[in-house]
Structure 1
Amino acid sequence: MKQLKTIVLTIMTTVFLGVTNNMMAQSDTGTAMNLDTKQSAIVSIASLTANGDLEKLETALVDGLEAGLTINEIKEVMVHLYAYCGFPRSLRGLRTFIKVLDERKAKGIEDNMGAEASPIEDSQSKYNRGKANLEALVKTELDGPPADYAQFVPIIEVFLKEHLFADIFDRDILDYQQRELVTVSVLATIGDVEPMLRSHMNICLIQGITPAQLEELVDVVGKNVDQAKIESAKEVLNELLESKK
């Protein structure tokens, strides 16, 4: 009888451990599919800055700092997004950030400044550096004919390569994933730029952002924009994911 009880107890323990391990594995998988707290903060900060909602931005900036983003990382979010929604939104965002930092400093809170951008040691021309960065971003060589807009206005292609993809993307304060999260958040917020939104959502996938993380990004942005814009963003994402099947 004692031996039977021991066998039953062993079986129950094995089953319990198996179920527990399975639940933990599922939990780990679910966590990996979600944006982490820093990524989510980047999305909120980018969206609210692009939307000009400075009151909510103050809260998002505090949340970002508390999530572990450095001052320089948040400043770089503001620098990056001006390329997609303009200097006025970026500058207002930066002034809001100054206000938040001053208030926290007055309370005795010292936030982490973080690393500065590394010096550029590449001897290539800015245009070639930008082209190389873009190729690394999309993970393919870009040796085909110029896009229609580049043929129509060649200087815009120069500005894109030399300024956006060289001057900005060469700054290593944010990585490619983080920069694309900023870009997609801004594009979804301003709306009516579906081709560019699809393109940058695709770059997110190329850079290792998961479909579930993109879906969560759209949900986070959806708290800050009107329903029509968010429905459009969801449609773009769904069509993109369908094309990958």
Structure 2
Amino acid sequence: MKIQAKPFLTTLIVILGLIVSWNANSAPVEEDTGLSQKEKSLVRISSYTAQGKLDGLKKVLNEGLDAGLTINEINEALVQLYAYCGFPRSLNGIVMFMGVVKERKERGIHDEQGKEIEFNDGVADKYEQGRKVLEVLTGRPQSKPTSGFGQFSPRIDRFLKEHLFADIFASDILSYHQRELVTIAALASMQGVEPQLGAHIGMGMNVGVTENQLNDLLSIIEETVGTKEAESGRNLLRGIKVRSN
């Protein structure tokens, strides 16, 4: 039987078009599934450190290593936390972590050390470096000095720019996304820091922390701290969403 070439080709093109269309429509859409297990561990570590709850901290430090966080990543989170919950709780967390790593090694568990931190002490103007990091986090220009408290207390403005956002945030052991999760979790675990918590929720969203991830984070805060603190964070998140729409 002789097949008519033109009608056959036309039919084939139509069928191929339908297949392509079906594949495009049925292809799985990448979903925002919330926090990964590593990120959840960072949130729990930050929350317990900020509260000074060492028993809970020991458990979640082990869970963080089991989830695949490296020793240096957890160390970096604990170092960063001193800027938000103070040296005493940060140091307590680091000492606790030292013990956890030692115990695991004695039990024959091998934990990855991870990427080594590189200190960039050759920056000519650390204030300017920190100011630029803050511009990335906030998504808007940063005056020099910061208006308001920065003009009233230039030293604290310099410490924030040169140390927190240059020495600490500029290190690539943790991404800005991870650092904001650490910061938001710590602030959400403490009372009386709502202005800073709201600011960092905004910064987190600006560097890719999603609403689902923030909801996951606040659900963890409800477990590690309480409903009152979680609801305070949710209210701030709702307010930020309203202002951004």
Residue 106 of structure 1 is matched in structure 2 by 106
Give matches, 1:28-47, under 5 Å. Answer: 28-29=30-31, 32-47=32-47
Residue 84 of structure 2 is matched in structure 1 by 84
TM-score (norm 2): 0.85
Could you tell which deviates more after superposition, 124-133 or 34-43?
124-133
Q: Residue deviations 1:88-120, cap 9 Å, x none?
A: 110111111111111111111111000111241
Q: Name the CA distance, whole Å, in 2 between partners of 1:239 and 1:150.
A: 25
Give matches, 1:143-154, under 5 Å. Answer: 143=143, 146-154=146-154
- In structure 1, the gaps of 5 or more residues are 1-17
Counterpart contact for 2:145–2:157, Cα < 8 Å: no
Relative distance call for 1:135 and 1:122 in structure 2 (3 A) is farther
Aligned-residue Cα RMSD (Å) equals: 2.0
Q: Residue deviations 1:144-196, cap 9 Å, x none?
A: 77321112211110111111111111221111011110110010001221111
Q: Name the CA distance, whole Å, in 2 between partners of 1:128 and 1:144.
A: 9
Relative distance call for 1:144 and 1:99 in structure 2 (3 A) is closer
Higher Cα Rg, which structure: 2
Aligned residue among 25, 28, 32 for 1:25:
28
Give matches, 1:116-131, under 5 Å. Answer: 116-120=116-120, 123-131=123-131
* SS at structure 1 position matched to 2:229: helix
Residue 190 of structure 1 is matched in structure 2 by 190
* SS at structure 2 position matched to 1:25: coil
Q: Name the CA distance, whole Å, in 2 between partners of 1:74 and 1:178.
A: 11
Measured after TM superposition, the shift of residue 129 of structure 1 is 1.0
Query: What letter corresponds to residue 71 of structure 1 in structure 2?
Result: I
Residue 63 of structure 1 is matched in structure 2 by 63
Q: Name the CA distance, whole Å, in 2 between partners of 1:117 and 1:145.
A: 29
Q: Name the CA distance, whole Å, in 2 between partners of 1:186 and 1:123.
A: 29
- In structure 2, the gaps of 5 or more residues are 1-21
Residue 167 of structure 2 is matched in structure 1 by 167
Counterpart contact for 1:33–1:210, Cα < 8 Å: no
Q: Name the CA distance, whole Å, in 2 between partners of 1:123 and 1:188.
A: 33
Measured after TM superposition, the shift of residue 121 of structure 1 is 6.5
Detail structure 1 runs of 4+ shifted over 4 Å in the superposition: none
Residue 8 of structure 2 is matched in structure 1 by none
Query: What letter corresponds to residue 203 of structure 2 in structure 1?
Result: I
Counterpart contact for 2:77–2:179, Cα < 8 Å: yes
Counterpart contact for 2:137–2:204, Cα < 8 Å: no
Residue 244 of structure 1 is matched in structure 2 by 244
Percent sequence identity over matched residues? Answer: 42
TM-score (norm 1): 0.85
